[in-house]
Structure 1
Amino acid sequence: MSASSMLPQKRPHPDSKPKLPALSETERILYELIRSKQNIGIWTADMKRETGLQTTVVTKTLKSLQNKNLIKDVVNIHNKARKIYMAMEFEPSKEISGGSWYSDGSLDIEFIRILREQCLKHIERLQIATMEAIYKSIQESRVFKVECTMQQIVEIVNAMVLDKEIEELKSTGIGDFSKVPSGKICYKSLKGREGPKIGALSSIPCGVCPRIGECTPDGIISPKTCVYYNKWLSLEF
């Protein structure tokens, strides 16, 4: 996860139309079309088809709208060759961007690896840790220059449970669990115990895949056809 992609960005509410600078008729038509697609965006070929504008006109108008900071181009993980445009106030949908584990259209394996290591480190330090305690410890450690989200921690921890690296327990409120309210879900390291060190879904789940170098959005090996990846996405966190 690149630093820039994780920085909180204050944007106008999508339902409130931004104050527009002076636009030509062509700019207005193209901008209204792009904005109507909201967080899905629109491909240049579809712009030409829906507006009837020539390629050169569309290209020139898009550049002008970008210069006026009204639209942006985004990467579509399913087809990087297609340039998708959307209005500045929208963030790409998960179907377009790949979600929080993608940066600039590519799975951010390094971020996943480091976050996973940090989760395990704090679980081992705390011995018995709730999800909230793991998240708080990582935030206070300031290992990351930018803030990771609770949802990212939840997904990482659940993957580690699947990989038998940690175990999910319910606190009894006594003994080792004395600092955790009774009935609260918490986690403990399985380091040193018998069990697989790396599971089929390790690292969400691509970090240890031997074919990761060959995996592309539209290739023979792809997240769209990967059994393990689809199984992981279907989990309830």
Structure 2
Amino acid sequence: MDLPQKRKNPEPKPKPGGGLAESDGMVLDAIKSKKEMAILKRDLKEETKLPESIFNKCLKNLQALGLIKEVPHVQFKTKKYYIAAEFNPSEEITGGSWYSKGELDQDFINGLKDLCLRIIRKLKVATADGVMDIIKNKGLLKTDCTTQQISEILRYMVLDNKIIEVKSTGLGEYHSIPIGNLCYSLETGAMMSIPCGVCPKIRECTPGGLISPTTCVYYTKWLDF
């Protein structure tokens, strides 16, 4: 006669966080769920609903284990945000590449402005891409930099009246820059002040076309001047 099989005890479910105390795992999972956006300490406490003493102990334990880290928020400097160790905080948290540890990296910005100014002075006329190419090809920066950052720096310099922004006419000093592309220079010489440089219809302007240099009243006045 077959004997009845002894009923097996159900296997215990793994604790959240993989072997951590249940409360630690609960806090870790809540932080991980926010990924690169991080989570405000107050919101984390409300989400986990843990008593104050246990909650603070969990944060301390997880930080000691290197599983989470506190990150400064560029807009809310006095508030504490936490993020899982495997994520990097988003630009919304850090402020992007212009910030370091939650503070505006003024030294980096000023250094980049000076570098762009030297490049434009040497080239006479340059686009953001052209400035970026020289920086990369010559290894002029020890840190990573993008064309978008260079464009932002150049716009700041225009607002500071350090350089001027014009559109390429494809003529003279602009010969290597496609017509209509934004470019930057230090001075407003004769070629720089040509009305084509700021004309919104420059891409449509062609000899014999509906819009052309021969029919442009602004270009004619500039020639007469």
TM-score interval, smaller chain: 0.5 to 0.7
Give, in angstroms, the shift of residue 120 of structure 1: 0.8
TM-score by length of 1: 0.65
**Contact 1:164/1:190, CA 8 A, preserved across alignment:** no
The aligned amino acid for 2:186 is S
Aligned pair partner of 1:189 in 182, 186, 205: 186
What is the match of residue 84 of structure 1?
Answer: 81
Match of 1:28 in 2: 25
8 A Cα contact 2:18 2:25, kept in partner:
no
Unaligned stretches of 5+ in structure 1?
Answer: 1-19, 193-237
Instruction: Measure the CA separation in 2 of the matches of 1:66 and 1:169.
Output: 52
Output the amino acid matched with 1:152: Q
Q: Distance in 1 between matches of 2:58 and 2:160?
A: 50
Aligned residue in 2 for 1:110: 107
22 and 169 in structure 1: CA distance in 2 versus 1, 3 angstrom threshold:
same
- The one-letter code sitting in structure 1 at the alignment partner of 2:56 is T
1:165, 1:191 within 8 Å by CA — same for their partners in 2?
Answer: no
Q: Is residue 128 of structure 1 aligned with residue 125 of structure 2? A: yes
Answer yes or no: is 1:42 the counterpart of 2:39.
Answer: yes
Q: Normalising by the residue count of structure 2, what TM-score does the alignment of the two structures yield?
A: 0.68
2:144 matched residue in structure 1: 147
For residue 63 of structure 1, report the CA deviation from its aligned partner.
2.9
Distance 1:175 1:79, change over 3 A: closer
Report the 3-state secondary structure (helix = DSSP H, G, I; strand = E; otherwise coil) of the residue aligned with 2:126: coil
Alpha-carbon contact 1:166-1:191 (below 8 Å) kept: no
Deviation for aligned residue 1:191: 8.6
- Aligned match of 1:226: none
Identify which range, 145-154 or 38-47, moves more after superposition: 38-47
SS at match of 1:165: coil
Aligned length: 173
Residue 166 of structure 2 is aligned to residue 169 of structure 1: yes
How many Å apart are 1:188 and its aligned residue? 1.0
Q: Which runs of 5+ in 2 are unaligned?
A: 1-16, 190-225
Distance change >3 Å, CA 136–CA 151, structure 1 → 2: same
* Alpha-carbon distance, 1:51 to partner: 1.7
Task: Give the conservation status (yes or no) of the 8 Å contact 1:170–1:183.
Answer: yes
Alpha-carbon offset, residue 84 of structure 1: 0.7
Deviation of 1:96 (Å): 2.5
| Map 1:195-210 → 2, pairs under 5 A | none
Q: Is the 8 A contact 1:77 1:106 kept in 2?
A: yes
- 1:134-190 deviation line (CA, Å, top 9, x unaligned): 011122343322212222111001111222221222222232112222332211113
Partner of 2:177 in structure 1?
180
1:217-232 aligned at under 5 Å gives the runs none
Identity between Structure 1 and Structure 2 (%): 42
Following superposition, which runs of at least 4 residues in structure 1 exceed 6 angstroms of deviation? none
Q: What does residue 70 of structure 1 align with?
A: 67
Structure 1 or 2, whichever has the larger Rg, is: 2
- Determine the C-alpha separation between the residues in 1 that align with 2:53 and 2:188: 61
